[in-house]
């Protein structure tokens, strides 16, 4: 198991004013992907020296948002710490970590993010959110009492119980969720090439970090009412939270057939808790939107 430290194509997305208005029309989160597009030629030509070209072309065919992120981050010096080049299969498997971490690199660039003040989020090729207000917040470890199972225990130990990580505020919660929501599609669209366990908790990461966000909002309202009022009055933040909720549903559904390879059964169990009455209530109160809980969980009502 890998533990991470720390559109015309998307015409269905809506502006902030619509996403936080109860009378807004329903919409669904979607983004282009062609997971059956032929990449056999890329596999045949793959070498340790052409991995970046391969990465960009592979995602151009199968997941354009991945190509766009790779292009934006092409000059980043840290790619080689995350990308495995000993075989095409190892390369494909390493994309969960590589794309996850490069999302952090884009999101947390000081040109875009001022820690605990405002954040940025690479959503997809057509949308990148910037200067999303955070108003500081409180340590994310405060959500621990609301976790009454052991479904996310391994990640709880890293992100909530760790002496340093547990002190991170909303900035940390949002950053990990956004990176998880790029790492998951990065391997979902190349799942047939994954042979090992390097991407085996991709679905768990997405489900768990959504859990953290929902519980963080609940604690904000119950224990930090002044902070709750501040963030609830930020349209860009409300829109981001709604998008991430729908986006998580979208990619968990797309990746569901590959449970075992891309996640454990606990991912679906965590997701079930994310749809508890208390969690849906806090999401809808915060965003001002009702969400679907049927087969179209990536949509609002």
pLDDT digits (tens, 9 = 90+) for 76-105: 999 999 999 999 999 999 999 999 999 999
103-144 pLDDT, tens digit per residue, is 999 999 999 999 999 999 999 999 999 999 999 999 999 999
How large is the average pLDDT for residues 42-49?
98
pLDDT of 296 higher than 60: yes
pLDDT of 154 higher than 50: yes
pLDDT of 226 higher than 90: yes
How large is the average pLDDT for residues 151-175?
98
Share of the chain above pLDDT 70, in %: 92
Q: Which residues contact 85 (CB under 8 A, 6 or more apart)?
A: 47, 48, 51, 91
Instruction: Quickly list H helices, the chain.
Output: 16-19, 40-45, 51-62, 64-72, 79-82, 88-107, 153-159, 170-188, 202-223, 225-232, 235-255, 266-274, 277-287
Q: Return d(Cα 275, Cα 162) in angstroms, integer.
A: 27
Confidence of residue 24 (pLDDT cuts 50, 70, 90): confident
- Locate tokens 């947390």: which residue? 108
Please give the pLDDT value at position 210.
99
Region for residue 157 given its phi and psi (left: phi exceeds 0; alpha: psi -120 to 50; beta: otherwise) = alpha
- For residue 234, the number of C-alpha atoms closer than 13 Å in the C-beta half-sphere is 19
Which residues are 121's β-sheet partners? Answer: 129
58-69 pLDDT, tens digit per residue, is 999 999 999 999
CA 251 → CA 24, 65, 82, 84, distances in Å? Answer: 24, 13, 22, 24
Give me the chain's average pLDDT, please: 93
How large is the average pLDDT for residues 204-224?
99
**Candidate from 5-9, 268-272, 294-298 with smallest mean pLDDT:** 5-9
pTM: 0.92
Q: Return d(Cα 136, Cα 150) in angstroms, integer.
A: 29
Please give the pLDDT value at position 14.
37
pLDDT of 206 higher than 80: yes
Please give the pLDDT value at position 4.
57
pLDDT of 18 higher than 60: no
Please give the pLDDT value at position 2.
52
How large is the average pLDDT for residues 53-62?
98
pLDDT of 15 higher than 60: no
């Amino acid at each position: 198991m890998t533990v991470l430290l720390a559109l015309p194509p998307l015409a269905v997305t809506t502006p902030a004013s619509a996403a936080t208005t109860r009378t807004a029309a329903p919409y669904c989160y979607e983004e282009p992907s062609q997971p059956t597009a032929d990449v056999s030629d890329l596999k045949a030509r793959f070498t340790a020296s052409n991995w970046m070209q391969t990465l960009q072309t592979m995602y151009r065919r199968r997941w354009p948002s991945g190509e766009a992120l790779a292009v934006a981050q092409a000059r980043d010096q840290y790619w080689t710490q995350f990308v495995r080049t000993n075989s095409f299969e190892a390369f494909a498997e390493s994309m969960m970590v590589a794309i996850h971490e490069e999302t952090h690199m884009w999101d947390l660039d000081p040109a875009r993010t001022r820690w605990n003040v405002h954040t940025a989020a690479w959503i997809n090729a057509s949308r990148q959110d910037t200067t999303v207000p955070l108003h500081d917040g409180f340590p994310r470890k405060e959500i621990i009492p609301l976790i009454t199972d052991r479904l996310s225990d391994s990640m709880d130990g890293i992100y909530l119980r760790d002496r340093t990580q547990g002190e991170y505020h909303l900035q940390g919660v949002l950053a990990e969720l956004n990176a998880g929501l790029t790492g998951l599609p990065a391997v979902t669209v190349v799942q047939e090439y994954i042979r090992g366990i390097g991407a085996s908790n991709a679905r768990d990461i997405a489900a768990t970090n959504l859990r953290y966000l929902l519980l963080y909002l609940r604690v904000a309202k119950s224990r930090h009412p002044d902070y709750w009022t501040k963030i609830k009055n930020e349209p860009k933040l409300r829109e981001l939270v709604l998008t991430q909720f729908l986006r998580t549903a979208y990619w968990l559904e797309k990746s569901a057939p590959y449970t075992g390879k891309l996640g454990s059964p606990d991912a679906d169990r965590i997701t079930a808790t994310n749809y508890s009455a208390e969690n849906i209530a806090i999401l809808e109160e915060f965003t001002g939107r009702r969400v679907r809980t049927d087969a179209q969980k990536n949509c609002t009502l």
